[in-house]
Structure 1
Amino acid sequence: MRSEFLFTSESVSEGHPDKVSDQISDAIVDLMLAKDPEARVACETMTTTQRVILSGEIRCAPMYDLENEEWAVNGGWAPGAKEEIEQAVRSTVRDIGYEQGGFHWKTLEFENHLHGQSAHIAQGVDAGKDGSNKDEGAGDQGIMFGYASDETPDLMPATLDYSHKILQRMAQDRKSGAAPFLEPDTKSQVTLRYANERPVEATAIVVSTQHAPGYYFHDGEGDAVKYAELRDYVKGVIADVLPAELLTVNTVYHINPTGRFEIGGPDGDAGLTGRKIIVDTYGGAAPHGGGAFSGKDPTKVDRSAAYITRYLAKNVVAAGFARRCTIQIAYAIGVAEPLSIYVDLHGTGNGVSEDQLEKVLPELVRLTPRGIRTHLGLNKPIYRTSAAYGHFGRQADGDLFPWERTDLVDALKAALG
């Protein structure tokens, strides 16, 4: 590592058009997992001005079955299933807070183009339906990464952690009425100066937030008093989120630097599922395998293997074996066991080596798709809340996501001690 450098990460709020799409896709995953824990879902969402479009593949017998003769008249859908899907979409948009002329949960146009899962995919993924002992294969080929760092109590990169928390606080204030001038679409970016691998100063912080009319000021435009209210509010949130020692006289603030930001969300820019994968993971501080998470049931290793590698890396750091840890796993479609596991401690290892961990970790957790889902308990409707403010380093509904637990620490110490 260099002795001193600047590093930046960004986050986007739940009202960002891509995040609206992610949350809708995961609301569909949750809906189907609630009805069938073994459901298969690959749901993509597009959002634009007053419109939401779903597409993708599903298998969920309580909701969709092409072989059910009674449902054939409705295209294979169970009675009321399409209405439930539409309700899940509208409820998600409502909860985010969109009641605008260009995007409103009640009046937006909705299209559902979901259809049945390809039998050719199913034959390689499903476990021994033919009576064999074949284990469930991976839902696709791919490489997945997990990462942990002791920069923050949540063992996340500080730049991303603070970027997320700024936006979470602003969303809470918007919904509670504490900041009624805020609208849902917001972005943040935090630049920190590092010395000896530790963050020592925030050099620049950017927040661009959609706002009520009049709260813009750039080159003399808008109401200066209203803009000052917005700027002071955002700076107050930043001061609450970042440790005081990081904010110095050198910290530069860019609050709505382009001026007016009244039109936002899907009305301002089309949104698609899976376009914010670096925001979802580690803010650029670690590699990403390329696959998105949202809209996919946990048989897809894009999602479940990324969760288990985060879980393993976090437990390595929590156990004190390293200050930073990256783990990679690779899979082939239809093959249960991973093709490889790779550990990098970035020169911060404490009493263990990478090759020791590469041997021990698969002995502690079975890294097949079924083994991962069983160990973490992933066949549950827990995903919509993961789809904004990052999948890692935080709680959901007052409890940690299962991949954020550090319950492997004692077993690691016993195996490596």
Structure 2
Amino acid sequence: MRSSFLFTSESVSEGHPDKVSDQISDAVVDLFLSKDPEARVACETLTTTNRVVLAGEIRCKGVFENDAWADGALAEIEAVVRKTVKEIGYEQDGFHWETFSFENHLHGQSAHIAQGVDASGNKDEGAGDQGIMFGYASDETPDLMPATLDFSHKILAQMAADRKSGKVSFLEPDAKSQVTLRYENEKPVEATALVVSTQHAPGYFFHNGEGDEAKYGELRDYVMGVFHSVLPDGFITDKTEIHVNPTGRFEIGGPDGDAGLTGRKIIVDTYGGASPHGGGAFSGKDPTKVDRSAAYVTRYLAKNIVAAGLARRCTIQLSYAIGVAHPLSVYVDLHGTAKEGVTEDAVEAAIPSLINLTPRGIREHLGLNKPIYRKSAAYGHFGRAAEGDFFPWEKTDLVDKLNAALS
């Protein structure tokens, strides 16, 4: 394992077109779960210039039954979608929460999927799909996340908070960040490159001698202040390469500048490239789908293992088959950082005794059948313990049990 290296992660803001789509899809999931905790939802969202389109499959008591929508359901879905876009902050000519064209193509879930997944008789509820899911934790930040991704998220979250509070008037919702850190002895010690590209009010650019240098200077100074507020003291040096809106003008953004789709930012959503990814997206899916719930439980387990001091880094993989309740495999990698006497084999053997890894067991243990998902759809699904019950997979309540099982 390398101890000294450069590593980079990126994030995108809540106003990025793909993230707008993710938040809409998860707002729809929350709506249905608020009506029926056992709702089945697979909602995909397309956003483009002044248009939002929903498509997918649902089953929800009191909302969609017997191939028919309940009275008022369609209007309620549209209201939730518009409210989500309004809260993100889009009131632009090319994408406005109040005026965009809206299409809803959600329909009933396939009976053939339901018969294989639902519990019946002596059959336990099965996984909603096949697939592999990964969870990861590292001791390089207090929330046990990769520092490159943690800082990338926090830069954009701070910019969004300042935009919404009115602290700055020149920011618009769409933005990206990227952080490159130098690691020594496996620990981040210095930022070698920082990048922010942010949508801005007219005139706040300067590139190749064109634009308003004073206005651009105001924007750049503000972003530099965010960098210094987020990164630890001493990380930004005279050697740090800084890029703020390196292409110049960025006035047209969001869904007006680039179409957005649910599920296209899976590395931003997880570990910024520091861990493998199974390939499945989270947003738009109810928690019976193991793409979502099993990815959450692997993060929960990996975080508890690191929090317990059993290893400094941990990756966990689970695999499932559609309609089958129990995972087909459990894999643990402690990356050569395990506490003396702790082995991957022992951790793999202990995990099933600590938590039921069936889809229903995961949902019940973590309390996932709640409308908690829209908030997860921007600035990462992991590493946000401070935000309370919205992220139950960030709890470290297995520490004592893990230490007892592996002592």
TM-score between the two structures when normalised by the length of structure 1: 0.96
Give the match for residue 99 of structure 1: 91
Q: 8 Å contact 1:385–1:396 — kept in the other structure? A: no
Q: 8 Å contact 2:143–2:385 — kept in the other structure? A: no
Distance in 2 (alpha carbons) for counterparts of 1:43 and 1:140: 15
Distance in 1 (alpha carbons) for counterparts of 2:99 and 2:353: 53
Distance in 2 (alpha carbons) for counterparts of 1:247 and 1:344: 32
Distance in 1 (alpha carbons) for counterparts of 2:149 and 2:97: 30
Kindly state the Cα deviation for residue 66 of structure 1 after the two structures are TM-superposed: 2.2
Equivalent residues in 2 for 1:54-69, closer than 5 Å:
54-66=54-66
Q: 8 Å contact 1:144–1:289 — kept in the other structure? A: yes
Are 2:102 and 1:110 aligned?
yes
Are 2:320 and 1:331 aligned?
yes
Distance in 2 (alpha carbons) for counterparts of 1:248 and 1:199: 14
Letter in 2 for 1:61: K
Letter in 1 for 2:126: G
Cα deviations by residue, 1:50-86 (Å, 9 ceiling, x for unpaired): 000000000002101126xxxxxxxx10000000000
Q: 8 Å contact 1:96–1:184 — kept in the other structure? A: yes
Distance in 1 (alpha carbons) for counterparts of 2:194 and 2:309: 31
Specify the SS of the correspondent of 2:272. coil
Give the match for residue 75 of structure 2: 83
Q: Give the stretch that moved more between structures: 36-45 or 193-202.
A: 193-202
Match of 2:393 among 403, 406, 417: 403
Distance in 1 (alpha carbons) for counterparts of 2:375 and 2:2: 36
Cα deviations by residue, 1:378-415 (Å, 9 ceiling, x for unpaired): 00000000000000001475556100000000111111
Q: 8 Å contact 1:185–1:265 — kept in the other structure? A: yes
Runs of 4+ in 1 over 2 A off after TM superposition: 395-400
1:116/1:311 Cα in 2 relative to 1: closer, same or farther (>3 Å)? same
Distance in 2 (alpha carbons) for counterparts of 1:2 and 1:298: 36
Distance in 1 (alpha carbons) for counterparts of 2:304 and 2:379: 22
1:162/1:92 Cα in 2 relative to 1: closer, same or farther (>3 Å)? same
TM-score between the two structures when normalised by the length of structure 2: 0.99
1:371/1:398 Cα in 2 relative to 1: closer, same or farther (>3 Å)? closer
Q: Give the stretch that moved more between structures: 218-227 or 58-67.
A: 58-67
Q: 8 Å contact 1:394–1:400 — kept in the other structure? A: no
Q: 8 Å contact 1:140–1:334 — kept in the other structure? A: yes
Letter in 2 for 1:18: D
Give the match for residue 362 of structure 1: 352
1:284/1:47 Cα in 2 relative to 1: closer, same or farther (>3 Å)? same
Specify the SS of the correspondent of 2:191. strand
Specify the SS of the correspondent of 2:383. coil
Cα deviations by residue, 1:259-298 (Å, 9 ceiling, x for unpaired): 0000000000000000000000000000000000000000
Match of 2:251 among 262, 266, 269: 262
Letter in 2 for 1:83: A
Match of 1:154 among 143, 159, 165: 143
Kindly state the Cα deviation for residue 343 of structure 1 after the two structures are TM-superposed: 0.1
Cα deviations by residue, 1:140-198 (Å, 9 ceiling, x for unpaired): 00000000000100000000000000000000000000011000000000000111111
Letter in 1 for 2:9: S
Give the match for residue 373 of structure 1: 363
Specify the SS of the correspondent of 1:155. coil
Distance in 1 (alpha carbons) for counterparts of 2:352 and 2:390: 23
Q: 8 Å contact 1:147–1:286 — kept in the other structure? A: yes
Q: 8 Å contact 2:375–2:390 — kept in the other structure? A: no
Kindly state the Cα deviation for residue 3 of structure 1 after the two structures are TM-superposed: 2.9
Distance in 2 (alpha carbons) for counterparts of 1:250 and 1:33: 50
Are 2:375 and 1:388 aligned?
no
Query: Which blocks of at least 5 consecutive residues in structure 2 are unaligned?
Result: none
Distance in 1 (alpha carbons) for counterparts of 2:157 and 2:187: 24
Specify the SS of the correspondent of 2:360. helix
Are 2:313 and 1:321 aligned?
no
Cα deviations by residue, 1:362-388 (Å, 9 ceiling, x for unpaired): 110000000000000000000000000
Cα deviations by residue, 1:178-223 (Å, 9 ceiling, x for unpaired): 0110000000000001111111110000000000000001111111
Match of 1:238 among 223, 227, 242: 227
Q: 8 Å contact 1:386–1:396 — kept in the other structure? A: no
Give the match for residue 8 of structure 2: 8
Letter in 2 for 1:79: D
Are 2:135 and 1:143 aligned?
no
Kindly state the Cα deviation for residue 23 of structure 1 after the two structures are TM-superposed: 0.2
Letter in 2 for 1:372: I
Letter in 2 for 1:259: G
Q: 8 Å contact 2:288–2:360 — kept in the other structure? A: yes
Are 2:49 and 1:49 aligned?
yes
Distance in 2 (alpha carbons) for counterparts of 1:397 and 1:410: 23
Specify the SS of the correspondent of 2:206. coil
Distance in 2 (alpha carbons) for counterparts of 1:398 and 1:164: 18
Kindly state the Cα deviation for residue 329 of structure 1 after the two structures are TM-superposed: 0.1
Letter in 1 for 2:29: V
Matched length: 406
